Structure 1
Amino acid sequence: MKAIKYLFSILAIALVCSACVDYSDASEAVTAKVQLQLPDVLKGHMSLEGHTVSLQLNGVTYSAQTDAAGVATFSNIVPDVYNISTSWDITSSEYNRITGSSQVNDGATVSGSLNAQLINGSQPLLLTTTLSVKRDIVISKIYAAGSKDKNNKRYVAGQYIELYNQSNDSVDVAGLYIGLLETDVPQAYTLDNLKTNYADSVVLVKQVFRIPTDKHYMVAPGGTVLLVNSAVDHSLNSPMEHSLLKADFEAKDVKGKMLNNPEVPALQNVFNIYSGISYMNILTTGQGVVIFRTSADISQLKLTYKFGKTSGTQYGLLPKRYIIDGVDFIRHKATGTDVGEKRLYGDIDAGYISINATAGLSGEVVYRKVTSTTAAGQSILMDTNNSSNDFQVSTTIAPRTF
């Protein structure tokens, strides 16, 4: 009985003491300030005022406009880890006037981001931005997840990558390269590792494919290029899949395990770290992709082992200057998406996109949002150089639809 009395006494003391602990600092709202910094080429040519800065947390977005000094002020913000971003477009004439360029383009985008940034109101946060010319051809969809077939077995034959012509003119995609970023866990190089060893000049690829150059492959305005591993009707095998019979190009499986369509032209496999895999080795949890053009011999890319290693798998070092567009499609873990697993620099993709499933096989496609439609009926896809803004996830969207 005495022991029970002692126990009640201890519990009472503990309750009193816990009532004395101040937890208010952890959730008390603060005022956060974000200082916008223009790219050097725009300083003195563009106002800092009137640009939208966004904070994102758990799918909720908070927005504020910058003042004349370039400061966006957020009131009553709960301290937490946020993703911060901004982007806006400038016209072709503005771009050429400011930069002195005579390059034909569809304008440019100013964008910047800070991922996984702690906001506690203690000091202003600096948000730097970069300037990128708008692309004619962009990556519009990546279907990496795969699904389950009618027998509830893993089904990945229907994976694909889709490209889209944003411009007002037909574009010849002959000779265009498609690079698949390395997908090791843990990753072969973090962005900090790349900075240390290569001064932010390269990205790591595991495979590179090329659209053939045997003739012109013209894509009309608003047209798509569908790149697949197996150009057959996959809807017959899984309700979450689609027919890829009308794909434009197919990565042929030389071992014959993947069903190929002889009527669909072959993608050329020009670089590959896998000796036994000739098709696109797309990871179901997420697959970063870049597209690029160059006259260099990509089969002779410089190679590197994992950071700090001198043996094992070697990856291709793709010069960043070649890249036209890139999507940082990284895995979603049970604990959330780790932005430390980004493979692309902020000037290629300031954000990232992930599916919801941790292992894939969910039928989820990542695809660009539509921002507007022209008088001619052409969809204009969102391209702010930030996949966190530009992309969303669907289990129903079909190839060549938006």
Structure 2
Amino acid sequence: MKKQYRLMILALTLLSLWGCSDDDSPRVELFDVNVVALYPEDFSSDQAEGVTLKLVNNATGDQQEKISGADGRATFAGLVPGTYQLTASRFLNAQEASTLTGSSSEINLNYLDNNLLLSAATGQDALSIRLSGSISGSLVIRQVYYSGSKTPENTNYFFDQFVEIYNNSSESIALDGLMISNVEGPSGQINPNTQPSPFAKDQEHVYISTAWRIPGTGSDHMLAPFTSVVIAQQGINHRSEEANPNSPVNLSNADFELFVTGSQRDIDAPNVPNMEMIYHPFNATYSLVTVFGPGTIIWRTDDFAALERAPIPDTSPTFPQVVKVPVANVIDAVEALRSATDGAFKRVPAQLDAGFTFVSNTYTGESIVRKSTTVDGNIVMKDTNNSSEDFEIKSTPAPKSF
């Protein structure tokens, strides 16, 4: 009897194991997605050939890169359900741009979706994406030092911030009237309740919280080919004992500084010309930008006062508003965020900057600097309108060091 009982238990155990075999376990259904890249609507052709498309799984980091064919189509195979980042880019040289637009100006085309939900159901139909672009500019933002530094006493120091603007062309450029602005919005998940900028959905404008202008009457400040100007927060030697001996920079030779008119605490360096303060309502003391990563644009306008204002949601009626800058006015833009995981906090429209860059931490003394190559003996900055590809971290900022 005991032997029969043991045989019965063994049989039940085997049946149980068979019932739990891998054949009955849930399976993830893999699927393919076809993406069709389209040119902007005002181009003479619709399907965009030769577009570089990159699809990144937000959960795993797995990525695929494809090039679109003559029909604009690229296929991503073996995907699992989830959210993805889809980026697309295409550079048009002068001849290609002339054929498609009638203008011979070089154009950078881009597309970005940071939160694309894909599944077997959504993969049944081709996903059409329309590229947007901007003319490849002669002036580019070469370097932004925003992270700040630590003092010998281990306190935070942020007065040594600067922006460097480079002439990426073979012709001299008049800087008179050139504007530089900080883009409104947080740089990432700084606090648990931090939310992305409410203005980021508007891809036709950049929403700015500051506006500074290079003085001049038209040709007072000419920038020679393949040279740069440095705009300092404070144009002093920040490495001095009176400032911060640990600072990486001496900005006493900066070309311009951002002195806040009326401030009782800001430093007006006597040997560095001041930028014209056009709009600066959020800080009456200093011209600092966030050490977590600013969005920065250089741009022009003939009538700043005519630009539309926008209230920041959930603020009082008397709270300062931000200014809407049309993307057509922007010459160059750079998006810096807090970290690699903060892409949802992008503020700059994708057609101006399809990516973002970042430093390792705050107060590290690091800057972001544009990659470059040498062409016919000249230093040419990489400019694809994608900061993820165009920039790298510089451990020690060095203004005008190419």
Q: TM-score, normalised by structure 1?
A: 0.80
268, 272, 279: which one aligns with 1:271: 279
Residue 30 of structure 1: how far off its partner (Å)? 4.5
CA–CA distance in structure 2, aligned partners of residues 224 and 21 of structure 1:
65
Q: 1:85-234, aligned counterparts within 5 Å? A: 85-101=87-103, 105=105, 107-120=106-119, 122=121, 123=123, 124-183=126-185, 185-186=194-195, 189-192=198-201, 195=202, 201-214=204-217, 216-234=220-238
Residue 224 of structure 1: how far off its partner (Å)? 1.0
Equivalent residues of 1:33, 1:121 under 8 A apart: no
Question: Aligned in 2, Cα 1:178/1:18: closer, same or farther, shift over 3 Å?
Answer: farther
Gaps of at least 5 residues in structure 2 are: 1-15, 187-193
Determine whether 1:337 maps to 2:342: yes
- Range moving further from structure 2, 232-241 or 175-184: 232-241
- Matched with 1:398 is 398
Q: 1:247-326, aligned counterparts within 5 Å? A: 247-253=254-260, 254-255=262-263, 257-274=265-282, 276-277=284-285, 279-298=286-305, 301-307=307-313, 309=315, 311-320=317-326, 321-326=328-333
Whichever of the two has the greater Rg, that structure is 2
**Percentage of identical aligned residues:** 26
CA–CA distance in structure 1, aligned partners of residues 42 and 250 of structure 2:
47
- Matched with 1:385 is 385
For residues 235-278 of structure 1, give each alpha carbon's deviation from its aligned partner in whole angstroms, at most 9, with x where no partner exists: 4425452222221101124535344421111111111113623x
Residue 187 of structure 1: how far off its partner (Å)? 5.3
Tell me the SS of whatever aligns to 1:42: coil
Equivalent residues of 2:212, 2:275 under 8 A apart: yes
Residue 136 of structure 1: how far off its partner (Å)? 0.8
Determine whether 1:243 maps to 2:250: yes
- Matched with 1:4 is none
1:267 maps to amino acid: M
CA–CA distance in structure 1, aligned partners of residues 179 and 84 of structure 2:
35
Question: Aligned in 2, Cα 1:68/1:202: closer, same or farther, shift over 3 Å?
Answer: closer
Residue 72 of structure 1: how far off its partner (Å)? 1.7
Tell me the SS of whatever aligns to 1:234: coil
Question: Aligned in 2, Cα 1:281/1:31: closer, same or farther, shift over 3 Å?
Answer: same
CA–CA distance in structure 2, aligned partners of residues 179 and 111 of structure 1:
22
CA–CA distance in structure 2, aligned partners of residues 290 and 201 of structure 1:
14
Equivalent residues of 2:204, 2:349 under 8 A apart: no
2:227 maps to amino acid: G
Residue 175 of structure 1: how far off its partner (Å)? 0.8
- Matched with 1:39 is 40
Tell me the SS of whatever aligns to 1:191: coil
**Aligned structure 1 segments of 4 or more residues deviating by more than 6 angstroms:** 16-21
Tell me the SS of whatever aligns to 1:204: strand
Equivalent residues of 1:148, 1:238 under 8 A apart: no
CA–CA distance in structure 2, aligned partners of residues 132 and 233 of structure 1:
37
CA–CA distance in structure 2, aligned partners of residues 18 and 318 of structure 1:
61
- Matched with 2:67 is 65
Question: Aligned in 2, Cα 1:311/1:381: closer, same or farther, shift over 3 Å?
Answer: same
- Matched with 2:11 is none
Residue 346 of structure 1: how far off its partner (Å)? 2.0
359, 371, 384: which one aligns with 1:369: 371
CA–CA distance in structure 1, aligned partners of residues 381 and 74 of structure 2:
27
Determine whether 1:82 maps to 2:84: yes
Residue 347 of structure 1: how far off its partner (Å)? 2.2
- Matched with 2:12 is none
Residue 294 of structure 1: how far off its partner (Å)? 1.3
Equivalent residues of 1:150, 1:238 under 8 A apart: yes
Residue 201 of structure 1: how far off its partner (Å)? 4.6
Determine whether 1:53 maps to 2:53: yes
CA–CA distance in structure 1, aligned partners of residues 82 and 37 of structure 2:
20
CA–CA distance in structure 2, aligned partners of residues 144 and 156 of structure 1:
8
Residue 374 of structure 1: how far off its partner (Å)? 1.0
1:314 maps to amino acid: P
For residues 89-112 of structure 1, give each alpha carbon's deviation from its aligned partner in whole angstroms, at most 9, with x where no partner exists: 2222332343223x7x4x122222
Equivalent residues of 1:240, 1:395 under 8 A apart: no
1:36 maps to amino acid: A
Determine whether 1:348 maps to 2:352: yes
Equivalent residues of 2:145, 2:397 under 8 A apart: no
For residues 13-36 of structure 1, give each alpha carbon's deviation from its aligned partner in whole angstroms, at most 9, with x where no partner exists: 9xx9898984542xx765443221
Q: What is the CA RMSD across the aligned residues, in angstroms? A: 3.1
Gaps of at least 5 residues in structure 1 are: 1-12
For residues 270-302 of structure 1, give each alpha carbon's deviation from its aligned partner in whole angstroms, at most 9, with x where no partner exists: 11113623x42301111111111111034x654
Residue 156 of structure 1: how far off its partner (Å)? 0.5
Equivalent residues of 2:338, 2:359 under 8 A apart: yes
Tell me the SS of whatever aligns to 2:97: helix
Question: Aligned in 2, Cα 1:63/1:281: closer, same or farther, shift over 3 Å?
Answer: same
CA–CA distance in structure 2, aligned partners of residues 368 and 347 of structure 1:
18
